Chains A and B, each alone.
Chain A
Amino acid sequence: MAEFMDLNLTFSGDKAELRKLVDTAAHLGYSTVAINYVFEPNPKKKTPVPIPVPVAKLVHPLPVVQGCSRPIRILNRLTIMMSDPSHYRASSPEYKHFDLLAVQPNTDKLFLSACMTYDVDLICFSVSDRLPFFYKRAPVHGAMERGVAFEVSYAAGIRDSTRRRYTMANAMFHSDICKGKNMVVSSGAERALEIRGPYDVMNLSQLFGLTERHGKDAVTTNCRRVVLHAESRKTAGGIIRTFRRDEATVGTSTVDTSGEDCPAAKRAKTQDDQAIEA
């Protein structure tokens, strides 16, 4: 049984709506979801980077996923809409609150640097207009080698007909270049009625130019790859992870072994080790 993930549930500020959305996602069979905080830096007003609401306060108790007996896992994600290189600061302390980092570049130079150098997990496509720039295979392959995935959101297409055309056009252009690999399809839903079941999404990705195989990967394997990549960002080289003793880890499923008094060989396998082996 594959593990389905939806990495884009947009946080619109309404907690009750978000609760319903997470309940629906669990009912449909998604084992992991990520709450997306979209941040658009404005040069005139210095808006601060949003701090995510702790998951325990948002949704409690966590609903159980359809098809298995575990509760749903909720991650926090930040999407930065970039139109200027100063919008993304590499080691900003505000990014530590988030589990996943994504960027949406608006120019081709930013796209190139996002693919090759920036330490992010996902690169998003715009859904409200045509891609403002064209790109070739080189940066895309560079991103694939680093483990960065490209994301398409389908909820805007469900809401509006012109957005549907742009979503599909941008997605098809990209899947031609990358041959359907390393793509992630996610919802971008703000309300409970905008999310769709995983098998429907796999079929829907045919409209985005993906084959059946790649469509399934887009909801399962590639998502899992992105989440593991994000976890390895918090470690040193994927091996050592430091954390405070009293840090609450509600909402994540990492197995914490404090390890100071336990020799390395006897420590339980953490997810970091799995990330290296993956």
Chain B
Amino acid sequence: MVRVKSRYLLCEVNVTDRNQLLQLDDRAVSASVKDVVQRMYGDYGAALCSFGFSVKYVNAVSGIVFLRFPKKCYKRLWSALPFITSIEARGKKIQCFLNCIYVGGTIRTCQKFLIRYNAHQLRRMLPKCKSEEEKHKVQQAILDCCLTARTDESEDPLESEED
């Protein structure tokens, strides 16, 4: 049985100014990854990236990116990712870096991890809330995460209030 196996890297884009994040789109991320792999590994890297690599999902609000790499060369391509210093989106350069938080074999496992990760981030946000209203909203969001047992991703619009 030949099954094409791949690795999905769940990355978080860290910026100093969160408003700049909103301009992210998948083409910009894909172009910057290909560019950095080309710089580090030259033509061989460019060839590795040309098939099998794609950006599956970008969430501009929380800065989460899903990258798909073929299983044979994902470690090599992953080692080039720390050298990304900026992503150019819609003509503007966003100073950022990618932090890989999970490597999964399928999109579904990555999704499950992302749900737990987002719930954890909500709990981290709670002590940083500045007003009673915000605190109440975050507490409500945490309760929603715990009570509902949904398998699809529950995106939280409050992520933009983080930090």
Q: Hey, which bits of chain A sit against chain B, CB under 8 A?
A: 20, 24, 27-28, 64, 66, 154, 157-158, 161, 164, 192-197, 199-201, 203-204, 206-207
Is B82 touching A193 in the complex (CB atoms < 8 A)? no
B80 to chain A, nearest CB (A): 9
Report the nearest B residue to A154, measured CB to CB: B82
Q: Contacting B16 at CB < 8 Å: which of A20, A196, A206, A207?
A: A20
Residues of A with C-beta under 8 A to B139: none
Which residue of the partner chain, among A20, A199, A207, contacts B100 with CB atoms under 8 Å? A199
- Residues A28 and B99 in contact, CB atoms below 8 Å apart: yes
Which residues on B sit within 8 Å (CB–CB) of A200? 78, 81-82, 98-100
Query: Which B positions have Cβ atoms within 8 angstroms of A?
Result: 14, 16, 39, 75-76, 78-79, 81-83, 85, 95-101, 124
Does A193 lie within 8 Å of B79, measured CB to CB?
no
Residues of B within 8 A of A197 (CB): 99-101
What CA separation (Å) do A170 and B75 show in the bound complex? 22
Are B97 and A203 in contact, CB atoms less than 8 angstroms apart? no
- Tell me the complex Cα distance, A154–B96, Å: 17
Q: Which of B75, B78, B95, B124 contacts A193 (CB 8 A)?
A: B95
Q: Is the CB of B79 within 8 A of A204?
A: yes
Q: Can you name the residue of chain B whose Cβ is closest to the Cβ of A194? A: B97
Q: What's the Cα separation between A193 and B81 when bound, in Å?
A: 14
Please state if B101 and A193 are interface contacts (CB–CB under 8 Å). no
Q: Knowing A203-B75, A206-B75 touch, does A196 contact B82 (C-beta < 8 A)?
A: yes
Provide the residues of chain B in CB contact with A20, threshold 8 Å: 16
Cα–Cα distance between A148 and B150 once the two chains are bound (Å): 51
| Distance A28 CA – B101 CA, assembled complex (angstroms) | 9
Chain A contacts for B97, CB-based, 8 A: 193-196
Min CB gap B67→A, angstroms: 13
Q: How far is the CA of A195 from the CA of B98 in the complex (A)?
A: 10
Report chain A residues within 8 Å CB of B95. 193
A-B contact pairs, 14 of them (CB 8 A): A28-B14, A154-B82, A158-B85, A193-B14, A193-B97, A196-B97, A196-B99, A199-B100, A200-B82, A200-B99, A203-B100, A204-B82, A206-B75, A206-B79
The distance from the CB of B158 to the nearest CB of chain A, in whole angstroms, is 17
Q: How far is the CA of A28 from the CA of B99 in the complex (A)?
A: 8
